[in-house]
Chains A and B, each alone.
Chain A
Amino acid sequence: MSHFVLDARYLLCPMPVIRTQNRIAELAPGDTLEVHATDPGALHDIPTWCRVHGHEVVSVTDVDRKISITLRVGKTT
């Protein structure tokens, strides 16, 4: 299981979600992906996308619009 980082800063939603979705499609179950974003919409959309697709949100931080969301890839991608 590996850890990956995705830079989705300065992209407006839904682009951070789309980039997350496309990156996760390349990963294996159990891998983690740390998404960096600046659009506050990502705080809502990425966790929703994860719930819909069965991925786990490990952590969410938002410090001065520097957003970091770490996901664990679920079994069904």
Chain B
Amino acid sequence: MSPQQPLPVTSMTPARTAPAAGAPRKAVALISGGLDSMLAAKVMLEQGIHVEGLNFYTGFCVEGHTHAIRNHEHAKPKRNNALWTAEQLGIKLHIIEVIEEYKDVVINPKHGYGANLNPCLDCKGFMVRKAREWMEKNGFDFIITGEVLGQRPMSQRRDTLPVVARESGAFDRLLRPLCAKLLPETLPEREGWVDRGKLFDFNGRSRKPQMRLAAQYGFTDYAQPAGGCCFLTNEQYSHKLADLWSTRGSKQYELDDIMLLKVGRHLRPRPNFKLIVGRDEGENNFLEGYRKRFVHLHAISHEGPLVLIDGIVNEGDLELAARLTARFGKGRESESVTLTVTDMQGNSRELRVAPMPANEIPPEWYL
């Protein structure tokens, strides 16, 4: 079925029995921590709908912890924006870990990637499908998202919004309150659970209508929209992931792989290995946790980073890695730097090398 084909008008999911007299209908909301999903949930709460939130942890999520690894972020409040949003709204939030299941979305996206390795359309279909499963298991009536027609180039177009509804199996139990007036009526609207007249017709990339609505609801503090909540939309991150797949010869990953791509400076001086260089104390501490799984280097004659070697190296490679390690430490201007190299069994030995001058590091080594 092509994306242009119309959405089936009736839901494939069985109708939930009517709630007890006086009990509200129930909606499950995808809560990202951003403004749009917060507003969508609020719109439903204002109509007397019982709302609970779902938030999915894929491993690629941009959240406080990954920023907090670096020193300069320590002063900022560490908050999970999805949880914070739920608290502002007074709704429950269920955080669901989907790391394993999500791999297929990233590795084999049916609808392809966006500008980077972001499989946005498959991702949205996956998340709405998970929400649909949760809805059915927990006796909820419909799903809401903060999608806005025309806001995202891949997953929020007029021709792709129906794809999400269809491929998730949610069909007309998927309601987008912020742009519902521009879309066909959904089950909650037809059944009168929701007043379509009080929904919105937001369209396009402008954030002004959302900001006006936020002001109307009295929301003054919310996560600023800044390129989404996923590392896969980040060009540099995607480049590092592509390098990982290319050097391994297959599109596979484990959680530790994708966590390490978020941290440090990554250089690939030779096809058979790359270096992960801590950029500050916070990152060095984080990389410490991986010492037993990588050959690693650190300077002992000067202050400097912890450097993990990802790959199999010979003596020449080790010397090159040591010269680069010296380059990123405080001994960079010295004639020589002494380092220790430690293998995965914990055996250490010393190396003394001349730091590599900056102008001898080809730019293409940086991932």
Chain A residues with a Cβ under 8 A of chain B: 10, 12-15, 17-18, 21, 39-41, 43-45, 48-49, 51-53
Contacts and interface: CB of A to CB of B under 8 A. Distances in A.
B87 A45 contact: no
A40 B77 CA distance: 10
Interface in B82-138: 83-84, 86-87, 91-97
B79 A48 contact: yes
A52 B91 contact: yes
Nearest to B262: A12
A49 B86 CA distance: 9
A50 to B, nearest CB: 10
Interface stretch (B18-26, B62-70, B182-190): B62-70
Contact of B80 (A10, A45, A51): A45
Q: Which 9 pairs between the two chains have the least Cβ-Cβ distance?
A: A13-B65, A12-B65, A41-B78, A48-B83, A45-B80, A41-B65, A18-B97, A52-B86, A18-B95
Contacts of A49: 83, 93, 95
A52 B52 CA distance: 10
B95 A12 contact: no
24 contacts: A10-B289, A12-B65, A12-B259, A13-B78, A13-B80, A14-B57, A14-B61, A14-B95, A15-B57, A17-B80, A17-B83, A18-B95, A18-B97, A21-B94, A39-B65, A41-B65, A41-B78, A44-B78, A44-B79, A44-B80, A48-B79, A48-B83, A52-B83, A52-B93
B93 A14 contact: no
Interface residues of B, number: 25
Nearest to B289: A10
Which of A10, A21, A49 neighbours the largest number of chain B CB atoms within 10 Å of its CB? A49
B57 A18 contact: yes
Contact of A15 (B68, B78, B92, B97): B97
Contacts of B63: 13-14
Given A51-B87, A52-B87, A18 B80 contact: no
A20 to B, nearest CB: 10
Interface string B41-69: 00000000000000101000101111010
Interface string B20-34: 000000000000000
Contacts of B95: 14, 17-18, 21, 49
A44 B82 CA distance: 13
B291 to A, nearest CB: 13
Nearest to B99: A15
Contacts of A14: 55, 57, 61, 63, 65, 80, 95
A28 to B, nearest CB: 19
Contacts of A21: 94-95
Nearest to A39: B65
Contacts of A13: 63-65, 78, 80
B259 A41 contact: no
B80 A41 contact: yes
Contacts of A43: 78
A66 B244 CA distance: 33
Contacts of A52: 83, 86-87, 91-93
A71 B83 CA distance: 17
Contacts of B91: 52
Nearest to A11: B65
A26 B92 CA distance: 17
Contacts of B92: 52-53
B281 to A, nearest CB: 13
B84 A41 contact: no
A14 B78 CA distance: 11
Contacts of B84: 48
B275 to A, nearest CB: 22
Contacts of B68: 40-41
Nearest to B97: A18
Given A13-B78, A41-B80, A44-B78, 19 more contacts: A12-B66, A12-B259, A13-B65, A14-B55, A14-B61, A14-B95, A17-B83, A18-B97, A41-B68, A44-B64, A44-B80, A48-B79, A48-B80, A49-B95, A52-B87, A52-B91, A52-B92, A52-B93, A53-B92
